A and B are shown apart, each in its own frame.
Chain A
Amino acid sequence: TQLLEQSPQFLSIQEGENLTVYCNSSSVFSSLQWYRQEPGEGPVLLVTVVTGGEVKKLKRLTFQFGDARKDSSLHITAAQPGDTGLYLCAGVDSGGGADGLTFGKGTHLIIQP
C-alpha cells in the first residue's frame, strides 16, 4: 500500500504571511494531484503535476513535484483568509484501479485576518 504523508497536519498563520506544506512518500507516483476542501464541501482539484521537477503556478499558489516523483510541495505567498481550508494531496499510481489514487490525510490551514 502506498502512503502519502502530509505535513504539517495543522497550520495557523496571519494574513499576508508565506507558507509551505509538504506531501511525501517513499513510493514513486506517475502524477500527483492537489485538492482544497472548504468546510462543509467536497474537495476541489487545484492542480495536477506530472513531470519530475515540474513547477506549476496558480496565482499565489506554487506547486512543485519532486525530481524523483515521490514528493510535492505547495507554497502560498501572501496568504489570505480565503485560502483557509483542508489541502489534500493525492498520488496517482500508473498501475490504475481504485488503488491508483492514494490520498494523504491533509493539512488544515487557517489564515487569520
Chain B
Amino acid sequence: DVKVTQSSRYLVKRTGEKVFLECVQDMDHENMFWYRQDPGLGLRLIYFSYDVKMKEKGDIPEGYSVSREKKERFSLILESASTNQTSMYLCASSFSTLYEQYFGPGTRLTVT
C-alpha cells in the first residue's frame, strides 16, 4: 500500500520561529510537492521537486524554502514563521507530474 507520511499532524509555533515540515514517501516517486490549503482558496502549490536536490517554485513560494537531499524525503522550511502562514500543509508525491498524486494526511500549522 502506497504511503506518504508527514512528520506532524498538528503544530503550534510562535512568530519568528524556524519551522521544519517533513514528508516521506515509500513509492520511489521522482516528484514531490508541497501545498497549502486554506478555506476559499483551495490547494496552492508552494514548491515541487522532480529529483534529488532539484526544486521548482510553485504559485506561492514567498516565505518558504525546501530541501530534497534523498529521493524519499522532501522538507518544507519556514525561515521565520508569520501568522499568515497558519494553514493546512499537504505533501504529495507522484510518478509523473501528469499522473495521480498521493497525499499525506496533512499538517495543521498554527503560528501565534
Q: Which residues of A contact B (CB under 8 A)?
A: 30-31, 33, 40-45, 48, 88, 90, 92, 94, 96-98, 100-101, 103-106
Interface pair A100/B98, CB less than 8 Å apart: yes
Question: What residues of B have a CB within 8 angstroms of the CB of A88 in the complex?
Answer: 42-43
Binary interface encoding of chain B residues 65-100 relative to chain A, with 1 for a CB under 8 A from any of its CBs, else 0? 000000000000000000000000010100011101
Interface residues on B, range: 20 to 34
Give B51 Cβ to nearest chain A Cβ, in Å: 13
Interface core residue of A44, A101, A106 (most chain B CB under 10 Å): A101
Are B98 and A94 interface neighbours, CB within 8 A? yes
Question: How many pairs of residues, A versus B, come closer than 8 Å at their CB atoms?
Answer: 52
Cα–Cα, bound, A101→B99 (Å): 9
Contact B104 A42 (CB under 8 A): yes
Query: Is B97's CB under 8 angstroms from A97's CB?
Result: yes
Q: Which residues of B contact A (CB under 8 A)?
A: 4, 9, 33, 40-43, 45, 48, 56, 58, 90, 92, 96-98, 100-106
* B48-A98 in contact (CB<8A): yes
**Would A30 and B98 count as touching, CB distance under 8 A?**
yes
Minimal Cβ-Cβ distance residue in A for B58: A98
**Cα of A92 to Cα of B98 in the assembled complex, Å:** 6
Contacts of A100 in B (CB 8 A): 97-98
A43 contacts B103, C-beta separation under 8 Å: yes
Residues on B with beta carbons closer than 8 Å to the beta carbon of A33: 100
CA of A45 to CA of B9, assembled, Å: 21
